[in-house]
Amino acid sequence: MNEELKKRIQDGAVVGAGGAGFPSYAKLAAGADTLVINASECEPLLDTDYILMREHMDKVVDGAKIIMECADIPRTLLCLKEHNAHRLSLTEGQKLAEGVFVKTLPDVYPIGDELATIYEATGRLVSPGNLPITKGVIVYNVETLVNVSFAVREGKPVTEKWLTIGGDVEKSVVLRVPVGMRVRDLFKKFGIVVPEGYAVIDGGPSMGQIINPNIAVVKKSTKGLLILPELIPAVAGKKGDIKTQISRASSMCCQCTRCTDMCPRNLLGYPLYPHKMVRTAINIAEMTPDMILTASLCCSCGVCETAACCQNISPRNVILEFKSILAKNRMKYVATEDVVADEYRDSRLIPISRWKAQLGVTPFDREGVLVDPIETVGTVEIGLNWHIGAPSVLAVKVGDVVKKGDKIADAAGGLSVPAYASIDGKVIYADDKKVVIESV
């Protein structure tokens, strides 16, 4: 392991650009023979990774080379869906650099689930609850590798975020903005007013979260901001509260098992049975510790809720309730044995065009247009706990004048990364949770 490179990735505050913000340096481990670049951009309406690859493939490949050198990995597979490969004129098996090859994935949902991507790319199935490294694989997202390249080659920490603004808007745009920019300021720049009866989603329509655009800010993991009608299935499914879900399930679940038959994690051979989770939630089956633990295997893809259940029940929301209890208690299911994928898996994955229709987002499917980055804003609010692990440790005080790229918080001990100012300005608020900087 090249500890020097690893340290530079940590110093650059590089975290997973699309997930829960896992510090990228901490993924590096000995024993990997394959780096998988997850470029599948599985969520409809998002073009962030596609535009990044189109504009900065050199940086993506350079980031991959750094990771390969750092962890002594001989092979990289750039995994992207067939339609994006076509748009980028890339072909299956194409060599992009020494040891770096293209791997095309079918246009199905949810192929961007890390475990599904690994399985499609390498034929290896990570055992439930285990890390990809146990199968010799490390996975990074496209933007994460761009950030690795900037951090290591140019000493530039992460201060910007690439995202798509889309949904029911005139034009879907892709751009980079300062980390911590307020969503309301961003919408103002584009003349976007969220109409009555619409919601704003941070992320994709399938797995993103509803946010309040008046108080939300762009985080390091924000891949998209979508303005969508509340009545379409993509949004309606996120609004149901758990009590309503359980009461609906009590009266309407017929235990048809369709949610389990279509669950992508179950199809990978994982012992996750959404219909049984619903059964335990509505007290018609005994809750066993093992059963509850399997909730941690759910990737929240929403297939059970949007595509499988014809009774308008959300097994996902029921499982999310169990998952949050498990997370609070730091518990998860960990298998000690390998699993085997279901023989019907390929035929049960959902073509992306059908998935868009099921979510109700087909009318809003517009190609993202690259627009100029936003450099100056009124204020940015930077969280010191936007990553997995220990929060960054505050290193500035109110009144300090900072430049873009200045350190505002140090990495804590253990798993942690520092934080940096994303604009030139003055610190107007600082505590152990966040720093607010006003541009000058």
Positions in the binding site for ligand SF4 (CB under 6 A): 253-259, 263-265, 272, 274-275, 278, 298-304, 308-309, 311, 313, 315-316, 319
For ligand SF4, which is the closer residue by CB, 176 or 265?
Answer: 265
Q: Determine the Cα–Cα distance for residues 180 and 41; give it in Å rounded to an integer.
A: 23
We find the least distance from the C-beta atom of residue 36 to ligand SF4, in angstroms, to be: 20
Q: Which CB atom, from 248 or from 366, has the smaller least distance to ligand SF4?
A: 248
Q: How far is the CB of 318 from ligand SF4 (least distance, A)?
A: 8
- Of 123, 120, 110, 43, give the one whose Cα is nearest residue 264: 110
**Nearest distance, CB of residue 166 and ligand SF4, angstroms:** 23
Q: Which residues pair with 435 in a beta bridge?
A: 382, 430
SS3 319: helix
Q: Which tokens belong to 268?
A: 């990978």
Comparing CB distances to ligand SF4, the nearer of 310 and 334 is 310
Q: What is the largest CA-CA distance in the chain?
A: 62
Are the beta carbons of 330 and 129 closer than 8 angstroms? no
Question: Is the CB of 16 or the CB of 274 nearer to ligand SF4?
Answer: 274
Q: How far is CA 368 from the centre of its chain?
A: 19
- Please give the full DSSP string across 4-20, using - where no structure is assigned: HHHHHHHHTT-B-SSSS
- 319 or 417: CB nearest ligand SF4: 319
Total number of residues shown for the chain: 440
- Residue pair 14/417 in contact by the 8 Å Cβ criterion: yes
Q: Are 204 and 44 in contact (CB under 8 A)?
A: yes
Least separation in angstroms between residue 172's CB and ligand SF4 is 26
Q: Which is nearer to ligand SF4, 23 or 264 (CB)?
A: 264
Give the H/E segment covering residue 427.
Answer: strand 425-430
Q: How far is the CB of 210 from ligand SF4 (least distance, A)?
A: 17
Residue 127 or 300: the one with the smaller Cβ distance to ligand SF4 is: 300
Minimum CB distance to ligand SF4, residue 249 (Å): 6
Task: Look up residue 337 and give its DSSP letter.
Answer: S
CB of 265 to ligand SF4, least distance (A): 4
